[in-house]
Amino acid sequence: MIEIETRRLVLRPLGMQYLETVHEYASDIENTKYMVFLPNDTIEETIEFLQSVDKEWASEAQCSYEFAILFEDKQIGAVSVCVDENSTGELGWILHKNYWRQGFACEAAKALVEYARNELGVKHFIAHCDAENIGSYKTMEKLGMIRTAVNEGRKNKSSHEERLEYQYEMKC
Ligand SMILES: CC(C)(COP(=O)(O)OP(=O)(O)OC[C@H]1O[C@@H](n2cnc3c(N)ncnc32)[C@H](O)[C@@H]1OP(=O)(O)O)[C@@H](O)C(=O)NCCC(=O)NCCS
């Protein structure tokens, strides 16, 4: 099994064994305020998501790599990279709100970028977030990514409002 170690964290393939801890943050309004596909209103939605994650990890044509972030043996969030046919990797992250602002997102994302470059041959990284999601775009900037677009029309699941979205990119 793939395991990536950082100073304080361990990254392991996400999957159904983390249902309880994933559902805790994935169903929380504050935790998912800026997200397009969350919150999950029912545990079934989280089960469906984790089934698709398990399937990807078992696939020979895997393109989505979702890692659980473990701190002191507890799953506190997830980081992901989704690789397309042009070796572009779309990055994503979420942390349980009790663990925000301690540098965990940056620590996990840096390790994932390194892994994606070295093991998956990713040559170009891209990421998107709500324009008010400071923690997310600061994480992108700390990785060395540059803002390349501001798009209109983002819809977060918990609101009907049309929002501005930032796009960040980085070439290797
Ligand atoms: C986005 C998220 C993963 C960031 O996680 P984090 O572990 O708190 O981020 P870090 O502690 O590594 O911080 C990264 C940088 O952002 C800054 N930052 C984080 N949250 C911030 C906030 N709310 N306001 C201002 N700056 C913030 C940190 O200060 C740090 O910059 P610095 O080192 O220059 O001080 C976390 O806020 C989260 O899970 N949000 C909910 C899910 C989400 O929105 N995911 C992204 C969807 S696109």
Q: Say if 147 falls within a structural domain.
A: no
pLDDT at 20: 98
Query: What is the tens place of the pLDDT at every residue in 63-119?
Result: 999 999 999 999 999 999 999 999 999 999 999 999 999 999 999 999 999 999 999
Instruction: For residues 136 and 166, give the distance between their C-alpha atoms in angstroms, rounded to a whole number.
Output: 10
Q: What residues make up the domain containing 107?
A: 4-122
Q: Say if 56 falls within a structural domain.
A: yes
Measured by CA distance, the residue closest to atom 19 of ligand 1 is 135
Instruction: For residues 69 and 11, give the distance between their C-alpha atoms in angstroms, rounded to a whole number.
Output: 5
Query: What is the tens place of the pLDDT at every residue in 132-157?
Result: 999 999 999 999 999 999 999 999 99
100 pocket-lining for ligand 1 (C-beta < 6 Å): yes
Percent share of the chain, pLDDT over 90: 99
Q: Say if 48 falls within a structural domain.
A: yes
CATH of the domain at 9: 3.40.630.30
Pair type for strands 9-13 and 64-71: antiparallel
Contacts 24+ apart (CB under 8 A), 92-99: 92/127, 93/136, 93/139, 94/25, 94/26, 94/31, 94/32, 94/35, 94/38, 95/25, 95/69, 96/21, 96/24, 96/25, 96/31, 97/25, 97/28, 97/30, 97/31, 99/71
Residues in the chain: 172
Q: How far apart are the CA of 60 and the centre of ligand 1, in A?
A: 33
How many distinct structural domains can be found in the chain? 1
Stated pTM of the model: 0.98
Ligand 1 mutation target, pool 107, 136, 140, 155, most atoms within 8 A of CB: 136
Q: Say if 55 falls within a structural domain.
A: yes
The closest-lying atom of ligand 1 relative to the alpha carbon of residue 102 is 11
Ligand 1 mutation target, pool 101, 102, 166, most atoms within 8 A of CB: 101
**Between these two residues, 96 and 1, which has the higher pLDDT value?**
96
Q: Say if 102 falls within a structural domain.
A: yes
The pair of structure tokens assigned to 152 is: 């209109």
Buried b (16+ CB within 10 A) or exposed e, 2-29: eebebeebbbbbbbeebbebbbbbbbee
Q: Say if 66 falls within a structural domain.
A: yes
Mean pLDDT, residues 6-23 taken together: 98
Q: Say if 133 falls within a structural domain.
A: no
Mean pLDDT, residues 42-60 taken together: 98
Average pLDDT, the chain: 98
Instruction: For residues 57 and 66, give the distance between their C-alpha atoms in angstroms, rounded to a whole number.
Output: 8
Is pLDDT at 21 greater than 90 in this prediction?
yes
Q: Say if 151 falls within a structural domain.
A: no
Instruction: For residues 50 and 168, give the distance between their C-alpha atoms in angstroms, rounded to a whole number.
Output: 27
pLDDT at 50: 98
pLDDT at 1: 87
